[in-house]
Amino acid sequence: METLSIKNLEMGFNTKKGFRQALFDISLSLKYGEMHALVGESGCGKSMTALSILKLLPKNAIITNGEINYRKKNLINLSNKEINNIRGSEIALIPQDPMTSLNPLYTIGNQLLEVIKLHQNLKGKEAYKKAVEALETVQIPDAKERFNQYPHEFSGGMKQRTIIAMALACNAKIIIADEPTTALDVTIQEQIMNLLSDIKKEHGTSILLITHDLALVSQYADEVSVMYSGKIIENAPVKEFFNYTNHPYSIGLLKSLPRNNKKIIPTIEGQPPSIMDEITGCRFNPRCKFSIPQFCNRRNPEFKEIRKNHHSACFLNN
């Protein structure tokens, strides 16, 4: 069952050189109690897709087409007041950098209480109890003592757990985790991902995991969408994706994963295009080893089903 669906989303920026499109026909869905991974290189549009859901885009950004449907409402059409009632309480964002996401001037407890009072309408002992329970749920030891500490007294992993605790305290139905393990060491990364996985299973929370780490995707996600230069170019259940990877870009990403027996790690030659670049045809065409000139540089390939629940946009499938 879908908890949120994005249909044909298109977004761009007003620049000094005119309007430049950044997202092209994005469609994906989050299912109840599942983790959907959105994968791709830096700058491909993953975070802009996430920020579109919560209407947190920069001032010069404009959504030009599409729908973001949640509980029979198109979030794009909601007023600031209406979307504020959803942010944090029903759809929570775990931002990229846990180090700068908490206010250094307030205790962890005060920041948790502020969120709970705003979204749960609880006060006094009830709010305090909810906050401490949230800290305990994300496995912060000595939660009552930690409640009165400041962010600088927390490690990076503890800060990330606190941000997750804020989402849990508000009973968020959807968590958008934007590179939640980027600034953390490998051991803490595993702890955070295990925590998100447990939340998904125990609370039925839907999670949109934004990452470039395919190793994490293979271990934790249920479904994966691969983005390149503002477009989703492949989508499939995780096991299907790793067993039958189809798009040349996805294949290149998998080949570039470090392995114990690899002396030389293959790379995808070239650089992803900027939104300022004018590209005709498939946006991966300039870097693709399998490019077919009469097709790939003239028009966009259709995003179509190539196996059951497995979609890809490549002329090699035609």
CB atoms within 10 A of CB 245: 21
Q: Is the pLDDT of residue 295 over 70?
A: yes
User: What average pLDDT does this structure show over 3-25?
Assistant: 94
Q: What are the residue ranges of helices labelled H in 121-213?
A: 124-137, 143-146, 156-169, 186-203
Contact by Cβ (8 Å): 225, 211: no
Q: Is the pLDDT of residue 229 over 90?
A: yes
User: What average pLDDT does this structure show over 246-266?
Assistant: 82
Q: Is the pLDDT of residue 259 over 80?
A: no
pLDDT in tens, 31-75: 999 999 999 988 899 999 999 999 999 999 999 999 999 988 999
pLDDT of residue 98: 66
The domain spans of the chain are 2-90+172-317, 103-171
Q: Is the pLDDT of residue 252 over 80?
A: yes
The superfamily CATH assigns to domain 2-90+172-317 is: P-loop containing nucleotide triphosphate hydrolases (3.40.50.300)
Q: Is the pLDDT of residue 115 over 80?
A: yes
pLDDT in tens, 168-210: 888 889 999 998 887 778 888 888 899 899 989 988 999 999 9
Span of 25-29, 73-77, 294-298 with lowest mean pLDDT: 294-298
Q: What is the pTM of this model?
A: 0.92
The token pair at 94 is: 């775990």
- Which whole-number Å values give the CA distances from 45 to 4, 182, 183, 229, in the listed order? 19, 17, 20, 7
pLDDT, greater one: 96 or 166: 166
pLDDT, greater one: 122 or 141: 141
pLDDT in tens, 237-248: 999 999 999 999
Q: Which candidate, 68, 14, 198, 117, places its Cα nearest to that of 207?
A: 198
Q: Is the pLDDT of residue 260 over 80?
A: no
Q: What are the residue ranges of helices labelled H in 204-247?
A: 214-220, 238-243
By percentage, how much of the chain surpasses pLDDT 70?
A: 97
